[in-house]
C-alpha cells in the first residue's frame, strides 16, 4: 500500500517570540522542518504534503526544488482543519502518516512501528511525562484501551492528572481518514477542529486504536518556545551566573559565560567563548568569538570582536565596530565609529564617524592621574598614532600615521608629529666576537 505523509507546519508559534516562522527556526544549522522532511523521506512515501500558513512565502522559499507538495491552510483552524486541506490530494488507496514540522527528533524506527500499528486500525504515539502540562491526555477505559484524547483546555481535574499524553503522530488508511475528518466538529474551548477527535471516532466505529508509547520523551518533544529550542548551539555548554534576558531571535554559541545582569536585544548573535558581565547589547549587534565585555553598554547593529575587550565604562553608540585585540575602557564611541585592529582607547570621548587606525593608543595616565582624550566627529586617526592626554582632536582632523599628538589639533587639517627620517650610509651592524 502506498504511503502519503502530511506534515503540519502552518502554526504561528507565538511563544517563540520571533518574526521567523516557527518551522524555520534552526536546529543544528538547519530549519526544524528540514529534519522532519528528511526523516519522512527515509520511508519512501509517494508524496509529502506540507501544510503551511504563517509566513507561507518564507517557508516555501526555504525549500526550493524540494519535490514537496505545498498545501496552504488559511486561516488556521486547528490540526484537523489542516489535514482537511491536504485530503483532496491524498491517494484514497494510501496509508496516511501525519507528522509535525516542529517535532524534529522522532526516529525512523519509531515511525516504522507506527506504520505497522496502523495495519490494525488507527495508530498513535504517546509518551509518559512527569509534567504533562500543555499536552492532550490519553483517556483509557476500564480495560485500559484508549477511549479518547482530551485537550488540556477541555480536561477535567481528574483528566489533568493523567501522565500519558498524545505525542501528535497519527497513522491510518485514507479510506478511514476521509469519513472521520468530515465528522470532526469545533465544539471546544478553542473553536478549532482537533485531529485528536479521530480517536473517539475510531472507538465509536469499533476500529482498534493502537497506542505506541515511546521510551525516550525527547523523541516526540515539540518546540514551542526559544527556551525549548534553546537558541543555543549547545545548551550543555553555557554558564549563566546571574540574570540573562534575551530578546527575539537571539543566537548564542558554545562556551559563553554570563555574569551579573546581561540584557541582549533582538537578533543579537554571540559567538563562542565570550564572557559577558553586566552588559546590555542593542538589537542586531554581533559579538564575535573570544570577546570579554565587562560593565559595558553596546548600541544597535554594532560589531565587536573577535578577541575584543570592553572594560567598565565602555559605551558604544549604534553601528560601532570594535575589532580584534582592541580594548576600550571608560570611553564613549559615537555612531559609526570604528577601531578595527590592535588599539587601546581609554578615558576618551570619541565622536561620530571616527576611524581609529591599527596600533593607536590613547595615553591617558601620567603616573598620578587619568586624563581625557577628546576626538571630535569625522576624524581619521592614522595607524600607530599616540594621543597624549589631555588632548582634543578637532572635528575633521587627519592624523598622520606614526604621529605622537600632545597638543590640540585644528579642525579639518592634516597633523603630522613624527621625527625626521634619516638614513646613515656608513652604518654597519655589530658583529659577534669569536
**146-155 residue pLDDT tens:** 988 888 888 8
The predicted structure's pLDDT at residue 249: 79
- Looking at residue 320, its pLDDT comes to 98
What is the Cα–Cα distance from 160 to 137, expressed in whole angstroms? 7
Distances in Å between the Cα of 86 and the Cα atoms of 98, 115, 173 are 11, 19, 14
Please state, for a pLDDT cut of 90, what percent of the chain lies above it: 66
Residues known to be catalytic: 341
Q: Which grid coordinates are listed for 239? A: 554558564
Closest C-alpha to 96, from 74, 75, 114 = 114
77 compared with 381, residue with greater pLDDT: 381
**Distance separating alpha carbons of residues 402 and 91, to the nearest angstrom:** 77
Determine the average pLDDT of the residues in 379-395.
97
pLDDT in tens, 248-298: 778 899 999 999 999 999 889 999 999 999 999 999 999 999 999 999 999
> Is residue 122's pLDDT more than 70?
yes
Q: Is residue 334 within 8 Å of 316, Cβ to Cβ?
A: no
pTM exceeding the 0.95 threshold for the entire prediction:
no
Q: Comparing 229 with 41, which gets the higher pLDDT?
A: 41
pLDDT at position 14 is 56
Residue 242 pLDDT greater than 90, yes or no: no
pLDDT at residue 227 above 60? no
> What are the boundaries of each domain within the chain?
3-220, 226-415
Low-confidence winner among 157-161, 306-310, 378-382 (lowest mean pLDDT): 157-161
pLDDT at site 1: 81
- Smallest CA-to-CA distance from 8 within 45, 39, 49, 42 is with 49
- The third-level CATH classification (topology) of the domain covering 226-415 is UDP N-Acetylglucosamine Acyltransferase; domain 1 (2.160.10)
pLDDT at residue number 13? 55
Residues 6+ apart with CB under 8 A from 355: 337, 338, 379, 380, 381
pLDDT of residue 168: 85
Check residue 286 and give its pLDDT: 98
Q: How far apart are the first and last CA of the chain?
A: 94
pLDDT at 151: 83
- Cα gap 233→253, rounded to integer Å: 5
Cell numbers placing 64: 526550493
| Least reliable range by pLDDT among 84-88, 301-305, 418-422 | 418-422
Q: What is the pLDDT of residues 43-66, one digit of tens each?
A: 999 999 999 988 889 999 999 878
Residue 170 has what pLDDT? Answer: 94
Task: Give the pLDDT mean for 101-109.
Answer: 89
Q: Given a cut of 60, is residue 240 above it in pLDDT?
A: yes
Task: Please state, rounded to an integer, the average pLDDT across all residues of the chain.
Answer: 91
Q: Give residue 382's pLDDT band: very low, low, confident or very high (50, 70, 90).
A: very high
The span from the CA of 339 to the CA of 327, in Å, is 9
Label residues 13-41 b or e (16+ Cβ within 10 Å = b). Answer: beebebebbbbbbebeeebbbbbbbebbe
What is the average pLDDT across 76-83? 90
Distance CA 116, CA 269 (A): 44
Closest CA to 95 of 157, 153, 40: 40
CB count within 10 Å of CB 205 equals 13
- Asked whether the predicted pLDDT for residue 11 surpasses 80, the reply is no
The answer for residues whose C-beta is within 8 angstroms of residue 201's C-beta and 6 or more apart is: 180, 183, 184
For the cut 90, the answer to whether the pLDDT of residue 85 exceeds it is yes
Residue 142: exposure state from Cβ atoms within 10 A (0-12, 13-18, ≥19):
exposed
Whether the predicted pLDDT of 225 surpasses 70: no
At residue 248, the pLDDT reads: 77
Bridge partners of 365? 370
Burial class (CB in 10 A: 0-12, 13-18, 19+), 141: exposed
Grid cell listed for 182: 468530515
**pLDDT of amino acid 223:** 67
- Per-residue pLDDT, averaged over 95-112, amounts to 92
Measured between alpha carbons, how far is residue 198 from residues 123, 201, 362, 427 in Å? Answer: 10, 5, 73, 96
Three-state SS string over the chain comes to: CCEEEEEEECCCCHHHCCCCCHHHCEECCEEHHHHHHHHHHCCCCCEEEEEECCCHHHHHHCCCCCCCEEEECCCCCCHHHHHHHHHHHCCCCCEEEEEECCCCCCCHHHHHHHHHHCCCCEEEEEEECCCCCCCCEEEECCCCCEEEEECHHHCCHHHHCCCEEEEEEEEEEHHHHHHHHHHCCCCCCCCCCCCCHHHHHHHHCCCCEEEEECCCHHHHCCCCCHHHHCCECCCCCEEECCEEEECCCCEECCCEEEECEEEECCCCEECCCCEEEEEEECCCCEECCCCEEEEEEECCCCEECCCCEECCCEEECCCCEEEECCEEECCEECCCCEEEECCEEECEEECCCCEECCCCEEECECCCCECCEEECCCCEECCCCEEECCEEECCCCEECCCCEECCCECCCCEECCCCCCCCCCCCCCCCCCC
Architecture of domain 3-220: Alpha-Beta Complex (3.90)
What confidence tier does 310 reach under pLDDT thresholds 50, 70, 90?
A: very high
Amino acid 32: pLDDT: 87
Amino acid at each position: 500500500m502506498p504511503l502519503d505523509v502530511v506534515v503540519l507546519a502552518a502554526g504561528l508559534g507565538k511563544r517563540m517570540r520571533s518574526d521567523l516562522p516557527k518551522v524555520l527556526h534552526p536546529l543544528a544549522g538547519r530549519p526544524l522542518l528540514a529534519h522532519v522532511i528528511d526523516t519522512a523521506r527515509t520511508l519512501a512515501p509517494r508524496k509529502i504534503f506540507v501544510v503551511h500558513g504563517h509566513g507561507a512565502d518564507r517557508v516555501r522559499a526555504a525549500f526550493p526544488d524540494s519535490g514537496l507538495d505545498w498545501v496552504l491552510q488559511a486561516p488556521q483552524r486547528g490540526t484537523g482543519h489542516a489535514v482537511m486541506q491536504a485530503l483532496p490530494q491524498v491517494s484514497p488507496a494510501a496509508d496516511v502518516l501525519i507528522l509535525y514540522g516542529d517535532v524534529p527528533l522522532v526516529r525512523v524506527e519509531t515511525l516504522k512501528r507506527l506504520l505497522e500499528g496502523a495495519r490494525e486500525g488507527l495508530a498513535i504515539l504517546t509518551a509518559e511525562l512527569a509534567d504533562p502540562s500543555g499536552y492532550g491526555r490519553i483517556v483509557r477505559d476500564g480495560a485500559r484501551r484508549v477511549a479518547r484524547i482530551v485537550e488540556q483546555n477541555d480536561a477535567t481535574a481528574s483528566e489533568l492528572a493523567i501522565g500519558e499524553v498524545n505525542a501528535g503522530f497519527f497513522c491510518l488508511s485514507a479510506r478511514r481518514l476521509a469519513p472521520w475528518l468530515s465528522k470532526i466538529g469545533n465544539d471546544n474551548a478553542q473553536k478549532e477542529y482537533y485531529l485528536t477527535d479521530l480517536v473517539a471516532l475510531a472507538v465509536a466505529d469499533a476500529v482498534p486504536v493502537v497506542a505506541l508509547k515511546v521510551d525516550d520523551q525527547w523523541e516526540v518533544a515539540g518546540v514551542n518556545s526559544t527556551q525549548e529550542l534553546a537558541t543555543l548551539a549547545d545548551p550543555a555548554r553555557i554558564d549563566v551566573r546571574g540574570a540573562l534576558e534575551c530578546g527575539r531571535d537571539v543566537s548564542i554559541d558554545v562556551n559563553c559565560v554570563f555574569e551579573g545582569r546581561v540584557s541582549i536585544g533582538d537578533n543579537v548573535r554571540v559567538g563562542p567563548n565570550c564572557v559577558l558581565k553586566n552588559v546590555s547589547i542593542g538589537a542586531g549587534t554581533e559579538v564575535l568569538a573570544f570577546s570579554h565585555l565587562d560593565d559595558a553598554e553596546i548600541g544597535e547593529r554594532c560589531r565587536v570582536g573577535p578577541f575584543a575587550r570592553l572594560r567598565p565604562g565602555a559605551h558604544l553608540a549604534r553601528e560601532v565596530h570594535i575589532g580584534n585585540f582592541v580594548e576600550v575602557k571608560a570611553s564613549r564611541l559615537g555612531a559609526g565609529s570604528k577601531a578595527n585592529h590592535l588599539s587601546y582607547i581609554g578615558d576618551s570621548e570619541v565622536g561620530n564617524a571616527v576611524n581609529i587606525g591599527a596600533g593607536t593608543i590613547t595615553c591617558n595616565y601620567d603616573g598620578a592621574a587619568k586624563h581625557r582624550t577628546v576626538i571630535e566627529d569625522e576624524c581619521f586617526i592614522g595607524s600607530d598614532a599616540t594621543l597624549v592626554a589631555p588632548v582634543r582632536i578637532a572635528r575633521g582632523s587627519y592624523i598622520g600615521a606614526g604621529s605622537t599628538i600632545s597638543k590640540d589639533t585644528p579642525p579639518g587639517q592634516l597633523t603630522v608629529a613624527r621625527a625626521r627620517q634619516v638614513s646613515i650610509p656608513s652604518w654597519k651592524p655589530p658583529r659577534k666576537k669569536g
